[in-house]
Structures are given as C-alpha cells and as structure tokens.
Amino acid sequence: MALSSPQILFFSTLLLGTMLSVSSTSWFGAWVGLELNLLSFIPIISSKNNQYSSEAALKYFLIQALGSSVIILSASFMLTATGPASLLLATSLLLKSGAAPFHFWFPSVMEGLQWPQAILLMTIQKIAPMSLLSYLTLNHVFPVFWAAIMLSALVGAVGGLNQTLLRKIMAYSSINHMAWMMSAILISETSWLVYFTIYCIISSSIALLFFYQEAFHVSHLLNHTNHSSPLKLLTFMSLLSLGGLPPFTGFIPKWILIQELISSGLFLILAILLMSALITLFYYLRISLTAMTISTPKTKWNSKSKGLSYLAPSILSLNVLGLLVPSILMLAV
C-alpha cells in the first residue's frame, strides 16, 4: 500500500482542507476548506485499477458540489432570515456527511472505492461537516437534527439487512453510526469527539482487515479454512466491536452516550438508537456465526494475508480494550 508522490500531496491538502474548515472563524473560510477537501479527495479515489472508481468520483463530486451550492445559497439568507438560513446550512452539511435522508449517494460511492479510500470516506471526510454541524445554533436546526437522527438510525439498520457486499454493509453501518454521532452533538462536543474517535479506530481496523484479505463479498469471508480461524475470529470480534456489543471497545462510547441521553431526557431518540443498534448487531452476528461455523476449501484470492502478522496484534488490542475498562474503573474506585 505504498503511496506515490501525487497521492501524498493530495492527502496533505485533504487534511489541510479539513483543518481549515474546523478552525475557520467564518463560514466563508469553512466553505473554502470544504472545497479544498473535495478537490483533494477526487484524485485520491480515481484509480486505474478499479473500473468503478471514475463513476464513484463523479457521483461524489456532483453531490459535494450540490452541498457547496446550498451552503452559498444559505449565506445569501443569513443576514435577512437566520432561521431558514440555518436550516439550509444544516441540510447541506447533512448531505455532505452522508446522513439520512440524504444518504442515497453514500453506499453507491462506497461500492466504487478500494478499501483505503473507503476508510477516508468513512472517517476523515466526516470530520469537517460534522464539526460545522456542531457549531450551528441548535434552537433553529433541532427539528432537522431530530429527523436526521431517527432516519439515519432506521436507514442504517434496515438497509444493511439484505446486503451481501461488505462495502455496502460498512456504508450502512456508517449511516447508523451517524445517528449516534449526531445525538452526541446534541449533548456536547466532547461526547461527539469520544464517539467519533473510537468509531474511526474500529471501522479503520475492520476495513484494513478486509483490505489485506481482499474481501469484498460475504462469501470471501466464509471461504477460509481452519488454518485461518484466528484471522476469522479477529475479523468478527472487530465487527461485533463496531456493532457495540459488550464488552468490546465499541460499547464504551455507546455506554457513555446512553447515560448522557438518559440524563438529558431524550428517551425517544435513545429508544430508536438502541433498536437500530440491535438490528445492526443482528446482521453482524449473522455474518460472524455463519463464517465461524462453516469451513470451505481454500481459495486463491487471499494473497495479502502475510501482512496481517504485524497488523493483527494491534487490531486485537484495540478491539478488546473494552474488556479491561471495568477492571480499571474498579481500581479507580
């Protein structure tokens, strides 16, 4: 996975655009950062090795350009009508981040990407829009937030049920986690940062495992022999951690957020989030139990597994860190 000089350049400008959006003191500076981020990501996802990358790049460009045009439109209303301008701004940022009901582009773009580019789309590309969402005055955009949280939870949960393509499963999982992250924004920026950081670590570890196994379909995960059962166990422990199953690491931010939502009295949002989390856990468990109980002849596509000898211990330590948290809390008490 060696990076060429142009890729390093575009990745640097992508990070620069994200930092500019997050740290800007004006909406114009934030818009400039979003545009720099967009123009840097397009060359990164365009790949000669993937025939669908050009289609994904075009879809991504059109959607992000639409979101940027809505931001400019909202700026024209900002001086005269603050409420409608804030609603338009929130809508454009939700479109850019891929939250429901503006999620229609996210799974199809994910389907055309390689795993390293998919990691960027699921993690770094969400930083700027979600940070800008947290800067909005919640009094004006609370109805939009409320609707986006409930729809993202339901779409992310139900949409992944009938999927067999791993990139689409990860896309719908990301949409579901967007609901949790937007709920965290309603509580505090600290809650959002904790949830987003742990989500990025876990989803990146799963995507790296899929990348080194060259797995793009559920059947690829099932086609392991008994010789690779530790690898299967590592993959599905990571999936269950992403689903928030106790006592893995992915449960920690959900545990914190559940307590905060109860303290804030947001019981309806919490009920929908918990219901959607159970549905996502269902399709993670369906993949995991099937793969752990079925052994099929070894296939030839698994050519990068040797690189996992260095990657596996770190991913294992990240995803089972949650097992140690009760012990640490007991010692602290």
| DSSP states of 19-62 | HHHHH-SSHHHHHHHHHHHHHHHHHHH--TT-TTHHHHHHHHHH
Q: What is each CA distance from 280 to 37, 161, 266, 302, in whole angstroms?
A: 30, 8, 21, 27
pLDDT at 136: 83
Domain borders along the chain are: 5-332
Give dist(CA 218, CA 142) in Å, integer.
Answer: 38
Residue whose tokens read 């602290």: 332
DSSP code of residue 76: H
The number of residues making up the chain comes to 333
Give every residue of the chain whose pLDDT is below 70, as ranges. Answer: 1-3, 48-50, 137-138, 223-229, 291-292, 294-313, 316-317, 321-333
Give dist(CA 39, CA 84) in Å, integer.
Answer: 28
Which residue, 103, 68, 105, 64, is CA-closest to 88?
A: 68
DSSP H helices in the chain:
5-23, 27-45, 53-77, 82-97, 105-111, 115-122, 124-135, 138-159, 166-187, 189-213, 218-222, 229-242, 251-264, 267-293, 308-319, 325-332
Neighbouring C-beta atoms of residue 177, cutoff 10 Å: 29
pLDDT at 105: 93
Residue 184, Cα to own-chain centre: how many angstroms?
15
Residue 127, Cα to own-chain centre: how many angstroms?
10
Q: Which two tokens stand for residue 4?
A: 């060429």
pLDDT at 131: 92
pLDDT at 257: 94
Give dist(CA 243, CA 235) in Å, integer.
Answer: 13
Neighbouring C-beta atoms of residue 47, cutoff 10 Å: 18
Neighbouring C-beta atoms of residue 82, cutoff 10 Å: 12
Beta-carbon-side half-sphere exposure of residue 44 (alpha carbons within 13 Å): 25
pLDDT at 226: 46
pLDDT at 260: 93
Which residue, 103, 115, 123, is CA-closest to 53?
A: 115
